Structure 1
Amino acid sequence: MNVEIWSDIACPFCYIGKRKFEDGLQQFSRRDDVNVTFKSFQLDPNAEIEQSQTNAEMLAGKYGMSVEKAKEMTQQVEDQAKEVGLDYKLESSVLTNTKDAHRLTHFAKEEGKMEEMVERLLRAYFTEGKHVGDHDTLVSLAEEVGLVGGAVRSMLDSDRYEDIVREEMQEGADIGVQGVPFFVFNRKYAVSGAQPASAFLEVLEKVQEEENENKINIVSQGDSCTDESC
């Protein structure tokens, strides 16, 4: 089974949703047969790499509310994060453009470390206050998950994977992704948002049931050739 997850490194509900999906997946009997791929999505593709606003100031400006009201909203999100074991420090988050972080996840994918890289970037942004738009920071985080720093820096200094980031954002738009996180199961079912683990488990079981129904039931079997017998 293939599960594609559209998400952004700077999306607080994407990290929460990732945890809830993982909780649901852990309860799924065929979890080892599930292939998970992360797809790029940017909440603000035009964001500056270097920004001076705090998270609350950004929210206040975006939604036309007071900074105090924005801080209340931030606290509510932090409380939701705690429910799934995440220690958010949103006022320490360094606002930035996430394109290079997404490019790094695609580089990591080629090395078989995409999931580890996505997890490390999310933790760095939401709980450690690291600047995930800064190349030195990205190289350091990549080395932590086992990637070669020099190769990562060369990639970041180029435009590699920029086309993939754009294509995946367009691909998401084409199939109806309007917000993230957005989970797509075998290109047949989707779950939008940070739903409870039970919702993910329900979809996983439904997709598995349909896969089993699509298999041909052999009612009688005689002599035949296989790769090892003929």
Structure 2
Amino acid sequence: MTVKIQVYSDYVCPFCFLAEGPLEQAVQGKDVEVEWMPFELRPSPTEPLDPWNDPPKLRMFEQSIAPYAQRLGIDMKLPRLSPHPYTHLAFEGYQYAKEHGKGNEYNHRLFRAFFQEEQNIGDPDVLAKLAGEIGLDAAEYREALETGKYKEAHQQALNHAYREAGITAVPTFFIGNKVLRGIANRETLEQVIAEELAGQAGKAAEGLSCSVDGECD
């Protein structure tokens, strides 16, 4: 039995980026399908986050998020982009990438571009370049953004996340019939996956996450 895993995330959520590694480790060699699901923490016209000009959020990154990344052995930066970009264009691009069989690869590239390379993933030129780097047609991708070809598909994905799945913080994992809210370590993910593969019941768990009110804890 294949276990389906859906991960709701936003590209500017630090814990979503940090959730990638443990998940990749946990699913190795297992009969699972992973799908990353769009969720915008701060959709336009909501004021975007600006951690470099928000002392409490800057302290949170320095005192909590950065040490957590270090413990995981992950190179991570707080991007010097003030404010952080909106992610709707990046997610419209995700719909293009998914349609062309590179959805998960696209997500990985965008997380790395933002949190390791400090690239502006709200810029269409940057997004097209990144799409090209993973083997997508950069010109066709850029045209899709310019024409809004995937705008409706992205909005439908957001409506699903907000209204049907009831997501209020990310990352949130739907692993078969179980839900994990917040970042989870490899061992926890492996346990839940094993329970699902065996058809066993289990408890939901919660970890560090970023919520729609701009808090990451």
Same fold (TM over 0.5): yes
8 A contact 1:40–1:169 mirrored in 2: yes
Classify the secondary structure of the residue corresponding to 2:180. Answer: strand
Q: Tell me what 1:56 maps to.
A: 52
Classify the secondary structure of the residue corresponding to 2:198. Answer: helix
Give matches, 1:103-118, under 5 Å.
103-118=92-107
Pick which of 102-111 and 161-170 moved more: 161-170
TM-score in terms of structure 1 length: 0.78
Give matches, 1:1-230, under 5 Å.
1-26=3-28, 29=29, 31=30, 33-47=31-45, 54-57=50-53, 60=54, 67=55, 69-75=56-62, 76-93=64-81, 95-173=84-162, 174-186=164-176, 188-210=177-199
5+ residue gaps, structure 2: 201-217
Q: Tell me what 2:203 maps to.
A: none
TM-score in terms of structure 2 length: 0.83
Q: Aligned equivalents of 2:46 and 2:114: distance in 1?
A: 16
Q: Aligned equivalents of 1:25 and 1:154: distance in 2?
A: 35
Aligned-residue offset at 1:100: 0.6
Q: Aligned equivalents of 1:48 and 1:171: distance in 2?
A: 20
Aligned-residue offset at 1:79: 1.6
* Stretches (4+) displaced over 3 A: none
Aligned-residue offset at 1:54: 4.5
Classify the secondary structure of the residue corresponding to 1:38. Answer: strand
Counterparts in 2 of 1:13 and 1:130: CA distance versus 1, 3 Å: same
The amino acid across from 1:12 in the alignment is P
Q: Aligned equivalents of 2:114 and 2:138: distance in 1?
A: 19
8 A contact 1:2–1:35 mirrored in 2: yes
Counterparts in 2 of 1:139 and 1:91: CA distance versus 1, 3 Å: closer
8 A contact 2:93–2:145 mirrored in 1: yes
Aligned-residue offset at 1:23: 2.2
8 A contact 1:13–1:180 mirrored in 2: yes
8 A contact 1:18–1:194 mirrored in 2: no
5+ residue gaps, structure 1: 61-66, 212-230
User: Could you say which structure has the larger radius of gyration?
Assistant: 1
